Structure 1
Amino acid sequence: MAGALSDRSGRRNPWILGGGLAAVPAMFLLGLADTILLITIAWCLGQAVMNVYQAAVTSVVPDRVPMDARGRASAAVGLGLPFGSTLGALIGAAYSEDYRTGYLVLGALVAGAAVLFTACGREQRLPARAPMPVREQLAAFTSALRDHDFRWAFIGRALLVLGYFAVSGYQLYVLQDHTVLPDGMKPEAAVAVLMPLTSVAMVVSTVLGGYLSDRFDRRKLFVGTSALLSAVALVIPALSASWPAMLSFAVVNGLAFGCYMAVDTALVTMVLPKAEDAARDMGVLNIANAGPQIIAPFVASVVVSFSGGYTALFVVAAVLAVAGALAVKPIRSVR
């Protein structure tokens, strides 16, 4: 909805700034919540306002970056994932005993980023568009998915993200119940080792993937190869429960996911059905990010419960990654 309204207004910065600033009261409320109901309301509010920010900011690349630089631009955007997840984990650990302040710090970071971006980034205003009847607005949300290339890009992203988060969301439990850790190492300490490894690998592959995809003008090749590499990474802990196997998985999976997200984001900006609907359609794509993350824990719990272990979870996630790789093959308008 925020993407569609941003398109109609022809503006990005007000939505980025508004969503970013609204994160502060949302996180303040989350810190005060002391019942399940209030936590649920505050968490949903926080997700909503930050996705207003997200929908508008993701449209900046197709709005302002030429086609031959989309890979590098998407790589720069993709660097937010490893840096942000690492910084978020550090803030979470630092404020584990004072979580109200921790929530405010996170909200302030989002608000500060929004202020900095809108102050420094020159906005290219697009022509405002006339309002449409409600029925046409609702139909417009599905119009992007009726486009052949965008639909396959959406499916591929959803499958890969589902497989990735089905495993990463259960990482602590995998280390507790599946991996044979070195003597004296606790699962929490193991997570602290794996996260930087994955983040560094992700940074390297994000930068290289974005640069090389521009250099060779090939997007599908890098997206498909990185998705297949993710499947290879997931097979490693399925074959061995050793600590070295888990270390290898962390590095290879980081390399795969970093390159995938950087180049796939560039690919998606090239298959948008209409440039004037960029924010709305990138918002639709965000469902392929957020939706699988919502259902991934349920999928993982079912697989682990029925199989009695985590080996099957790795195998299922690897199959999803292969399916995600195959989903880019039908895309016609991008090499």
Structure 2
Amino acid sequence: MALSSPATGTADSPTGPRPTRGLLPLLLAGNTAMYALYIGVPGMLLALQIQAIDPADKVANFGLVSGISAIFATVFNPVAGALSDRSGRRNPWILAGGLLALPVMLLLGSVHTILLVTIAWCLGQAVMNIYQAAITSVVPDRVPMAARGKASAAVGLGLPIGSTIGALLGAAFSEHYRTGYLVLGAIVAATAVLFTGCAREERMPPKAALPVKEQIAAFGSALKEHDFRWAFIGRALLVLGYFAVAGFQLYILKDHTDLPAGLSPEEAVAILMPVNSVAMVVSTVLGGWLSDRFDRRKLFVGASAVLAAVALLIPAASASWTAMLAFSVVNGLGFGCYMAVDTALVTMVLPKAEDAARDMGVLNVANAGPQIVAPFVASLIVSLSGGYTALFLVAAVLSVLGALAVRPIRSVR
């Protein structure tokens, strides 16, 4: 059963909303701000804050905070998507989530215990996933099928650019993390205002309220569709491997990598992120464009997932600074292409256009769900093995399994 046609209904229908002029730059800006916070906070500021509170148990505490807060991300993403589907609007949810990011970041920078850090970052995950669920649904809502690769590339470029901004801000405010939190929250809030002010939307017909039992059942209905289920599995496996390593990057540089004399781990992050981002930009643009040109999504998704696995073998084989630089380049090439093309693939296997936000929210469980497991799994592997080499190897295996998961998809080449 071909699932791609229903998923294009809103953007391609003659009576549906036409894509907004200038939408792609706005999607780039909106996703850049989101990833700047996602990388800058847990990748740098949160890790430093937790280390300052309890340096002896930083790995276990960081895993605990990251895992519990990711549960909130998993819950709020599909719920917020379903609410925006029901309201027939995306912009108000983007605006609300973006504006709420600022006071929540203020709260996060003001607390001084692991318990309060956990609560504050849970709130941060909640509001950011309200924002994410709505902005993720803009592509299937407003972009024609033929342009999905380009639109997904614009979305995908937000990751390397946002990652660089987040890492540089995290390094710049490493000794003043409260100010860093505020800056990142302000960027998201300002971008939400920009996006909703410039990206006009035509209101879709609101959906009638369903009983709670039917709403819960509806969340899982998309996973009954063969192609969507395999896309979900593939994304979950690769993201699990990616975040098992990425979430502990600062600690890997502190405790695993042989850094050159005079180079601090925080400065190393600020170097690695731009290197990774340049590679990711190149592969995101080329991957999105080539997948449109050749109409081959599965090939690019599978190959890029395998390349991400190869990247993880480099720091497993060597703890040198050169190996980490090589890892950043190869990882950027693989992950950038994967996220750009896999996002396009996913929009083509959505079961129903009218449930686009809800089903994209369900898919985002494959992004947020593994983040629940990854910190616990990573901290357990590091504790049992006494280092990070085994973590790299496990993550590589997960990436290969993610590549294999796209093979059973039938409706997309």
Residue 341 of structure 2 corresponds to residue 254 of structure 1: no
Query: Residue in 2 aligned with 1:61?
Result: 139
Residue 387 of structure 2 corresponds to residue 330 of structure 1: no
Contact 1:64–1:124 (8 Å) recurs in 2: no
> Structure 1's 38 and 189: CA in aligned 2 closer, same or farther, altered over 3 A?
closer
Q: CA shift at 1:169, angstroms?
A: 2.1
Query: Residue in 2 aligned with 1:2?
Result: 80
> Structure 1's 203 and 62: CA in aligned 2 closer, same or farther, altered over 3 A?
same
Secondary structure in 1 aligned to 2:351? coil
Query: Residue in 1 aligned with 2:231?
Result: 153
Residue 263 of structure 2 corresponds to residue 198 of structure 1: no
Query: Residue in 1 aligned with 2:240?
Result: 162
> Structure 1's 64 and 167: CA in aligned 2 closer, same or farther, altered over 3 A?
same
Residue in structure 2 matching 1:284, options 362, 366, 380: 362
> Structure 1's 202 and 135: CA in aligned 2 closer, same or farther, altered over 3 A?
same
Secondary structure in 1 aligned to 2:174? coil
* CA displacement 1:146-168 (0-9 Å, x = unmatched): 11111111111111011111112
Specify every segment of 5 or more residues in structure 1 that has no aligned partner in the other structure, as ranges.
none
Contact 1:68–1:217 (8 Å) recurs in 2: no
Query: Residue in 1 aligned with 2:152?
Result: 74
Query: Residue in 1 aligned with 2:288?
Result: 210
Partners of 2:85 and 2:144 in 1: CA distance: 19
Specify every segment of 5 or more residues in structure 2 that has no aligned partner in the other structure, as ranges.
1-78
> Structure 1's 233 and 2: CA in aligned 2 closer, same or farther, altered over 3 A?
same
Partners of 1:31 and 1:174 in 2: CA distance: 24
Partners of 2:295 and 2:156 in 1: CA distance: 18
What TM-score, normalized by structure 1, do the two folds share? 0.95
Q: CA shift at 1:175, angstroms?
A: 3.1
Residue in structure 2 matching 1:138, options 216, 231, 235: 216
Contact 2:164–2:270 (8 Å) recurs in 1: no
Partners of 1:35 and 1:172 in 2: CA distance: 20
Residue in structure 1 matching 2:372, options 294, 304, 307: 294
Residue in structure 1 matching 2:344, options 251, 266, 282: 266
> Structure 1's 330 and 276: CA in aligned 2 closer, same or farther, altered over 3 A?
same
User: What letter is aligned with 2:206?
Assistant: A
Moved over 4 A (4+): none
Partners of 1:98 and 1:192 in 2: CA distance: 16
Partners of 2:254 and 2:108 in 1: CA distance: 29
- Root-mean-square deviation (CA, aligned residues, Å) is 1.7
Residue in structure 2 matching 1:244, options 319, 322, 337: 322
> Structure 1's 14 and 192: CA in aligned 2 closer, same or farther, altered over 3 A?
closer
